[in-house]
Structure 1
Amino acid sequence: MATIAGSLMRSLGAVAQSMAQAAPTALRGVSQGLAARVTPSGATWTPQTTSVRHRYHADKLERGPLMKNYGYEEKLHTKGMLPHIVHGKRLPIPMYRPRNCWSEKRALFGQNDYIDILGDRSLKPTDVSYSVPHWLRGFKGNEYQMLLRKRKLFHAQMSRYQPTKLTQLNKRIRKLYVHLNQKTRDYYWHKA
C-alpha cells in the first residue's frame, strides 16, 4: 500500500515539475502548491483569487439608481384625468349640441298610453303600439303560447329562408312543452 502511494506521489510530482517548467503562469491553486514543493527554486504558493461583483455598498450608491426597463415606452396613461398630449394637440372632442327637447319624437312620446281611458273609445292601446310586431299586438300568454303562434304564422316562410331559426324554434317549443307538462304543478289532478 505504501509503495502505491509513494509511486502516485512521485508521478504527481513529476507532472507538476514538467508543468512548472512549461508554463509557470498557468499554474493556479493546488497544482502550484505541489509544484512549489517539488521545484528546487522554492516558488511560493499564492491563493486562488475570486472576483467580487459588489465589494462595497457605497460604490453601488455612487453609481446612482439602477436603470430598469431602459428604452421601454409606457402605452397606458397613468397621469390622471387629463387627455394624452403626445403630439402637442388636445384630443378631438365632439362639439356640444343640446338636444331638441321639442322634436316630434320626444314631444309626442307616450301620447297614446291612455287612449282607451281618455279617448272616444274608438282606438285601443293595441292598435297604436307601433313598435310591437303585428303578430304580437294584443297578445296575452306565456312563452310557449307565443312561440306556437309564431310558428303557426311563419312556418312556411322560415322553412324556406331561415331553416336554422326554425329548428331552434322547434327545439325551444319541445323543451317548453316538456317543462309545462312535467315540471309545473297541475291544480286539477286531485279533482278527478
Structure 2
Amino acid sequence: MEWLGSTLLKAFWRPGLTSVRTRYHADKTRLVRRYGYEEKLWCGGVLPRTKGKELPIPEYRPANPWTERRALFGQNDYIDILGPGNLHPVKTLYTVPSWIRGVHGSEYHILLRKRKMWAKTGSPQTRPTKWKDMEKRIGYLYRFLNRKTKTGRSDQ
C-alpha cells in the first residue's frame, strides 16, 4: 500500500514555481505610499516655485542708527583712559548680573560667588529647582577639580 501512495504522489504532485523576484527592473510595480498626501515643502530644486502665486516680498524699512541703544553703543569703552580715573570700567557694566561683574576665574568660582550672593535672598525657596541644579553643578565641578586636575608637585 505504501508503494501505491508514493507512486501516485510522484505521478500527480509537482512542486509549484513561485517567482519572488521579477525578471527585469522595468517589470516592478511601485507600492503607492501616502496616497492623497500633499507635500507642503518644496523638494523640487534650487528655486522655490509656487503654483501661480508670487512670493511675498517684505517691505524695506531701514534701521534707525540714532536709537538710544545704537547711539550710545560703546560710550564707556575708554572711560578709564579719558575720564578722571575714579570710575573703573567694571562699574559701567550695568546689564551684567552682579555675580559675574568683574570676576576672574573659572565656572566653579563664578558659581560659588553666585551661591554666596543668592543665599541671602529668597532664591532657594522661590526657585528650588534652579537652586538644586546650581548646587549639583557646584558639587560636580568640586569633585572634578579635586580628582582630575593636577596640582603642584609635593616633596613628600
The Cα shift of 1:160 comes to: 0.7
Question: Counterparts of 1:29-108 in structure 2 under 5 Å?
Answer: 75=39, 76-77=41-42, 78=44, 80-85=46-51, 88-108=52-72
CA distance in 2: counterparts of 1:83 and 1:119, whole angstroms = 59
Counterpart of 1:114 in structure 2 is 78
CA distance in 2: counterparts of 1:134 and 1:177, whole angstroms = 22
Aligned pairs, number: 126
Aligned mate of 1:127, from 71, 86, 91: 91
More helix as a share of residues: 1
Aligned-residue RMSD, C-alpha: 3.0
User: Structure 1 residues 95, 182: CA separation in 2 closer, same or farther (over 3 Å shift)?
Assistant: same
Counterpart of 1:181 in structure 2 is 146
The Cα shift of 1:72 comes to: 5.4
The Cα shift of 1:129 comes to: 1.0
CA distance in 2: counterparts of 1:144 and 1:124, whole angstroms = 25
Secondary structure of the residue that 2:99 maps to in structure 1? helix
TM-score (ref. length: structure 2): 0.65
CA distance in 2: counterparts of 1:99 and 1:105, whole angstroms = 12
TM-score (ref. length: structure 1): 0.55
User: Structure 1 residues 74, 138: CA separation in 2 closer, same or farther (over 3 Å shift)?
Assistant: same
Counterpart of 1:145 in structure 2 is 109
Gapped runs of 5+ residues in structure 2?
A: 5-11, 13-28
Higher relative contact order (CA 8 A, sep 6+): 2
CA distance in 2: counterparts of 1:130 and 1:83, whole angstroms = 49
The Cα shift of 1:94 comes to: 1.9
Aligned mate of 2:133, from 161, 168, 173: 168
Counterpart of 2:20 in structure 1 is none
